[in-house]
Amino acid sequence: MTRAFAFLAVAMTLLTGVSPARAQAGFGGFFGGGSNFGSGSGYEGGSSPIQRTRVSFPGRYAPGTIYISTAERRLYLVLGNGQALRYGIGVGRDGFRWGGTHRISAKKEWPSWTPPSQMLARRPDLPRHMEGGVDNPLGARAMYLGSTLYRIHGSNEPETIGQAVSSGCFRMTNDDVTDLYSRVSVGTTVVVKN
Q: What confidence category does residue 46 fall into, taking pLDDT thresholds of 50, 70 and 90?
A: low
Domain ranges of the chain: 2-48+90-186
Mean pLDDT of the chain: 80
d(Cα 9, Cα 12) in Å, to the nearest integer? 5
At 88-118, the pLDDT tens digits run 999 999 888 999 999 999 999 999 988 888 8
Report pTM.
Answer: 0.76
| Average of per-residue pLDDT across 43-66 | 84
Active site residues: 153, 169
| Average of per-residue pLDDT across 135-161 | 92
Pick the closest to residue 171 from 70, 99, 79 (CA basis): 70
d(Cα 74, Cα 91) in Å, to the nearest integer? 9
Mark 7-41 as b/e (b = at least 16 C-beta within 10 Å).
Answer: eebeebbeeeebeeeebeebbbebbbbbebbbbee
Q: Topology of domain 2-48+90-186, per CATH?
A: L,D-transpeptidase catalytic domain-like (2.40.440)
